[in-house]
Chains A and B, each alone.
Chain A
Amino acid sequence: MKIAVCIKQVVGREWQLRLSDDKTWIRDQDASFELNEPDAYALEAALRLKEQHGGEVVVCSAGPSRVVQALREALARGADRAIHVEDGALASADAFVVAGALAAALRDEHFDLVLTGLQSDDQGFGQVGVVLAERLGLAHSTITMDVAVEDGGLRVKRELEGGWFQWIRLPLPALLTIQSGINQLRYATLKGIMAAKKKEIRSVAAPADLAARQRIVSLYFPEKSKQTRMIAGAPDEAAKELVRVLREEARVF
């Protein structure tokens, strides 16, 4: 099975966010970056399918030159080769532009299966995978918690709200968006890291004519609406005060 996995590099969770001067994006020059969490699970799902059914796993990321680092990490975990859609503007582009760029990079390779994460931790559109499916003409299913290959097609477990699930059959080729927790992740071994150095990372340009369908006019920190009583002081003082208010005011025990 020839599988593509779309991975996004996002700012690290622990990084203290700062806004750009025009307040339409973040100032991420000094940010740390990491692999978008569900994308790591998507990569793992692809590696497991390859182990069972053979084939090839190709990772693809659209963004500035820094995303090569995420691609290298994926290669170290076991992906066979990488495609980098290189364009600085793609870091803050909307879902249609990103999906268009990914579609152009993947289309001619005719993958049997394309995996993406269900949502990015930065923009959080929850769109790129499904829009990409439509652009590539693939059947799709989302929020996937299990993938089985059956009778030349797929049987996938889709997460519904509140602890419900549903199995869905799909023909191949298909695109799935993967939910965190679908499997247990593997990490790169030293051998994997060494092997990754010899693997191909092909750089391609994004098509010039992609039209955005949404635009950020301003970005700001949320206003506090609820009156939260913040308990200050050294840990032991704060703890004592918390226990007191829980007993005497909130009466929770």
Chain B
Amino acid sequence: MVLVIAEQRDGKLNRASWEPIIAAQGLGGPVKVALLGQGLEAAAAELAAAKVDEVVRVEHASLEAYTADGFVQALAAFIAAEAPAHVFFTHTYQTRDFAPALAARLDRALITDVVAAKPHGDGLAFTRPMFQAKVVADVVAEGPAPHLVSFQIGAFKVDALVRGDTAAPVRAVDAAVDPAAIRQRPEAPFQEAKQAVDLSQAERIVSVGRGIKAPEHLEMAKELAAALQAELAASRPICDAGWLPMDRQIGSSGQTVAPKLYLALGISGAIQHVVGMKGSRTIVAINKDPEAPIFEIADYGITGDLFEVVPAIITALKA
């Protein structure tokens, strides 16, 4: 049996939770889905539309706000009771926060950031990127089951979900949590002060990555942006270094955009960047490394030195 741990916040299901369910359905065996928190009727009913054997609400007052300690305790006990062969998660920031501690407490394998599962001998191998997605690894779990696996967001298309003819049964269990053993005291989530620029509305975006090398070279990118009537954006390291303000950052921790044109200059194409821009209609990548992962998702690519190519584009646009 595969046990999928779905994710919710304030009773609202995280859409990315469908993806490990699809992964589990693809293996052909029984699938159960568990959701942790408090007041989960609506989210559980939504999950029950999938063709799965059961949906379980693992509830406790002290799971209402997420904490790593609360989730590790509740899941350690629940997994021990259910004895699944695999436990699947989505590789969200929440999963990153508790799953390694859970795996350590259970002393079971955890394979993270997985994009595919495939047969290997009698069991499964899991495919995951390594070295900043420059290479891919097939990895097998060692040691006894259950094996924990977290899937990269976007690894499966949500429309591949198999729905059931009737709703799956929903069961509620009381989570085994000792509130006194929860050490984290979370406050309410918040957004930083309203962003000065809303890049989600931009028609064209010129985005710079670490390939730009130094802040003084941003002028060249600005000139290109002006010639294209585009907004300027960046990958995380550029904003981390303070070369551009944080509200120009594209990616999982920044803005999500879908312009007509996304022109990536010296951006490698890490998944955390790509999730924020892959919906763009036309993606152009300029990168000196022909193997850069950004070319995987680009419609047009130029392999070359951006310091030569960008001035040439500016000239060509003005001609």
Contacts and interface: CB of A to CB of B under 8 A. Distances in A.
B300 A214 contact: no
Contacts of B135: 17, 19, 26, 219-222
A84 interface: no
B293 A222 contact: yes
B312 A180 contact: no
Contacts of A184: 241-242
B21 interface: no
A214 B304 contact: no
A11 B110 contact: no
A183 to B, nearest CB: 9
Interface in B177-232: 183-192, 195, 203-204, 210, 228-229
Interface string B43-68: 00000000000000000000000001
Interface stretch (A47-55, A57-65, A155-163): A155-163
A163 B254 contact: yes
B130 A124 contact: yes
Nearest to B313: A239
B301 A17 contact: no
A96 B143 CA distance: 12
B25 interface: no
B171 interface: no
Interface stretch (B31-39, B79-87, B91-99): B91-99
Contact of A253 (B142, B210, B228, B304): B228
A203 interface: no
Contact of B299 (A99, A129, A229): A229
B20 to A, nearest CB: 16
B11 interface: no
Contacts of B101: 130-131, 133-134, 140
Contacts of A232: 303
Contacts of B93: 142-143, 159-161
B293 A134 contact: no
6 contacts: A11-B131, A13-B132, A140-B68, A216-B139, A230-B302, A252-B203
Given A235-B305, A238-B309, 12 more contacts: A121-B131, A124-B113, A143-B96, A161-B252, A163-B253, A211-B143, A230-B300, A230-B302, A242-B316, A246-B300, A252-B261, A253-B228
Interface of B: 68-69, 91-93, 96-101, 103-105, 107-113, 120, 125, 128-143, 183-192, 195, 203-204, 210, 228-229, 236-237, 239-242, 252-256, 260-261, 281-282, 284-285, 291, 293, 295-305, 308-309, 311-313, 315-317, 319
The 3 closest A-B pairs by CB, nearest first: A181-B240, A239-B312, A130-B100
